[in-house]
Structure 1
């Protein structure tokens, strides 16, 4: 199943993943944008309709919680990006990633170590 979010939905999901669950007011407080209560509520209801969020009643409020794990959403997004931007080629994606001049030597070494481990090799 492909999981996809709009930018605003992803912001809201980020809050839910970090907190494990939150009311509309709590989500609104944690967002960087100053969104209206009704806007946040609409986003949460849309996410619920898509099956990405559930809720429990807490007095007069609803506490929303993620039904999709962050890692699953990331995997789905990466597959979509790989397909749409890199012609389904992990090599092209890796080339783009390691060509990024902002990566530190330490980050590159950690990536190399992960690749070596995946290949079953140990770094000397």
Structure 2
């Protein structure tokens, strides 16, 4: 995982669609994207960049390629979360949660659910 790099916003958007679809042709990815739809060549270029970066692989079907994730969503989520905690919250998950509580982005029900999760991990 140390070799993985963070993706650009556009690359992440494409990866989310491929993760959701379980693999896709460029036309399938475009169909899932919101309006205004990007050009086919734009998506095709991003997909090839993702393949070069080691996030995707493809299987050829004549002139078409079906792209599949090499890097799973949970693996990438771990990388991004660790980087966020390291860079903005002094390597403290507690500081991250405190931030969301202070900014009122967690309501009491969500805090209660977190407490239950913490307690279940101690058992």
Q: TM-score, normalised by structure 1?
A: 0.89
- Structure 1 segments (4+ residues) deviating >3 Å: none
Partner residue in 2 for 1:23: 25
Structure 2: gaps spanning 5 or more residues? none
Q: Per the alignment, do residues 102 and 84 of structure 1 end up closer, same or farther by CA in structure 2, a change over 3 Å counting? A: closer
Deviation for aligned residue 1:103: 2.6
In 2: Cα distance, 1:84 partner to 1:105 partner: 27
Q: CA RMSD in A?
A: 1.4
In 1: Cα distance, 2:108 partner to 2:87 partner: 29
Q: Write the mapping of 1:1-124 to structure 2, written as runs, cut at 5 A.
A: 1-2=1-2, 3=4, 4-32=6-34, 33-120=36-123
Deviation for aligned residue 1:28: 1.1
Deviation for aligned residue 1:86: 0.7
In 1: Cα distance, 2:87 partner to 2:47 partner: 27
Please state whether the residue corresponding to 1:57 is helix, strand or coil: strand
Structure 1: gaps spanning 5 or more residues? none
Mean alpha-carbon deviation: is it higher for 93-102 or for 1-10? 93-102
Q: Per the alignment, do residues 57 and 20 of structure 1 end up closer, same or farther by CA in structure 2, a change over 3 Å counting? A: same
In 2: Cα distance, 1:76 partner to 1:102 partner: 23
How many residue pairs match? The answer is 120
